[in-house]
Amino acid sequence: MYSISKKKSKSKLLAIGDKAPLFSLPNKADEIIKLEDYIGKKVLVVYFYPKNETAGCTAEACTFRDRYELFTKADAEVIGISGDSLESHADFSSKYKLPFILLSDSDNKIRKLYGVKATFGLIPGRVTYIIDRKGIIQHIFVSQFNPKKHVDEALRVIAEINKEN
């Protein structure tokens, strides 16, 4: 588990201070969601996770769900991205009553664009990016095996961003 600062980042992962790469992906209803539509309006939590219906990913999603009201009060939006199908996202979202956006990156192009590496070369990585209203990455948190910590880190950083504004 670690956060990445501009000084420490020597991998292909994006770094704090980088402009977040823009993307468009389908949501569970097959509507195209564009990151650029949120820039300038909300702080964004863009989290990449391995797979719907796995223990860690379900725990992470349900923790985001249980604390989602704190994100909305902080004028932030949560966007989860995995390689799962639209149907899988629809089922996962419905089963766990997830109030936030899930996007399907079926060809993993956005995962690669953001430099999210696989754990042990096999398991799609779990990385959370906090992007400010200007579209700048303010925090990156990587932890494959502590999924609930992604939510705590996101809320902490959003509070810092909101204090500065």
Return the structure tokens found at 72.
């909305």
Output the six-digit token pair for 11.
Answer: 């991998």
Catalytically annotated residue among 57, 76, 79, 110: 57
CB 84 within 8 A of CB 48: no
- Let me know if 62 is a catalytic residue: no
Tell me how far apart the alpha carbons of residues 81 and 97 are, in angstroms, rounded to a whole number: 17
The answer for residues whose C-beta is within 8 angstroms of residue 55's C-beta and 6 or more apart is none
42, β-bridge pairs: none
Helix (H) or strand (E) holding 34: strand 32-34
Which residues form the catalytic set?
Answer: 57
